[in-house]
Structures are given as C-alpha cells and as structure tokens.
Amino acid sequence: MLNNFFEELKAEFKSALSKRNHPFKYITLSTIDGDLKPQSRTVVLREIHDNLDCIIFTDSRTDKVKQLNDNAQACLLAYHPKKLLQLKLNGKLYPIEDSIETKRLFQKVGEKAIKDYTTIQAPGTSILNPDHVDYRERNENHFLALKFVPDQWEALKLKRPHHLRAIFDKDNDWKGQWLVP
C-alpha cells in the first residue's frame, strides 16, 4: 500500500505539467536567508525529471539566488485543494550553469514572459509607479534556471476514515514510512 501511495503521489505531481490549471503548477519555494529565517514565494514548476529533480526559472538577481549561494537547502510545498493532498519536498536548490541546458530551457519561455527576465532594475527594487519599469532587449536577460534536487518527500492526504501521512527518503531508494497524521 505504501509503495502504491508513492506512485500515486509521483503521478499527481508530474501531472502538474500536463493538466491545465493543475494546482501543483504553482508551488511554494522556501529558502533560508542570511539571518537563518525562512523565505517563501510562489514559483512555477517548469520540468520534473524521472529522478524527481525539478526545474524552476528565476531572474539571476533575486534574493533566492543569493540565499541558495549561501545555503542550498530548500523546500517545495504543493497543495491540491480538491484532493486534499499536500506534498512537501525537502532538498537542495542549484543554479544550472551549463550553457547548452540554459539555452534549451530559455527557449521554453513564452514571448510575453521574456520581459520578466529583462528588467533594468533588479527584482525587489523600489519604484514610484508600476509603469516605471524599464526593460532591456531579449538577449540582454537575467534568466536563470534552477534545479531542485529532492532528498525527501512528505505527503499528507486528508480522507476518512483515516488521513494518510508518509515520508519517503531518497537515501533509502524512496522507500517510505507511514507517519501519524
């Protein structure tokens, strides 16, 4: 039963990339800042590899990039309100530095979203008005792909008569352990 539960979780997580409006498409990423405080934000899940590594995109000047350079520990949190399913993935977050891979991933960015990586001012810079954002040309971008490498999945599924909660560790070949919900 536990192995089937993990297979169900992986399938549901991966379906975020193929099912329109799937709630796991937009997930919460948490990193640790220099004061050891957690910092969370919503990111878009772009790819999930067979080994469960995940890809997200960001501007290279964001706080999350500075934070992961000091501490690669990160957490992804996803919640499916209709299925009452929460996934928490712990692991490490790394910038993708391979230029060929970066070029491949940048080609996946839609035309409307390109400008998100071409602002002259860094994300989080104070401005007087939302119309006061200036942009560079497409090829002068700050695009950065990040790879999240999970080492642990924890799931909670609310259901009756018993909620299901389990943890799965990569170091144990993703074998799981039931937990008290």
- Please report the domains of the chain, with CATH numbers, ordered by start residue: 2-178 (2.30.110.10)
Task: With a cut of 90, say whether residue 138 has pLDDT above it.
Answer: no
Task: With a cut of 90, say whether residue 91 has pLDDT above it.
Answer: yes
- Summarised one tens digit per residue, pLDDT across range 140-152 is 999 999 999 999 9
Residue 138: count of CB within 10 angstroms of its CB: 14
Task: With a cut of 90, say whether residue 165 has pLDDT above it.
Answer: yes
Q: What was the pLDDT predicted at 45? A: 97
What average pLDDT does the chain have? 95
Q: What was the pLDDT predicted at 139? A: 86
pTM, full prediction: 0.93
- Summarised one tens digit per residue, pLDDT across range 69-85 is 999 999 999 999 999 99
With vertex at residue 18, the alpha carbon angle to CA 14 and CA 21, rounded to the nearest 5 degrees, is 100
Question: DSSP states of 15-69 as a string?
Answer: GGGTSTT-GGGEEEEEEE-TTS-EEEEEEE--EE-TT--EEEEEETTSHHHHHHH
In one-letter notation, the amino acid at residue 176 is G
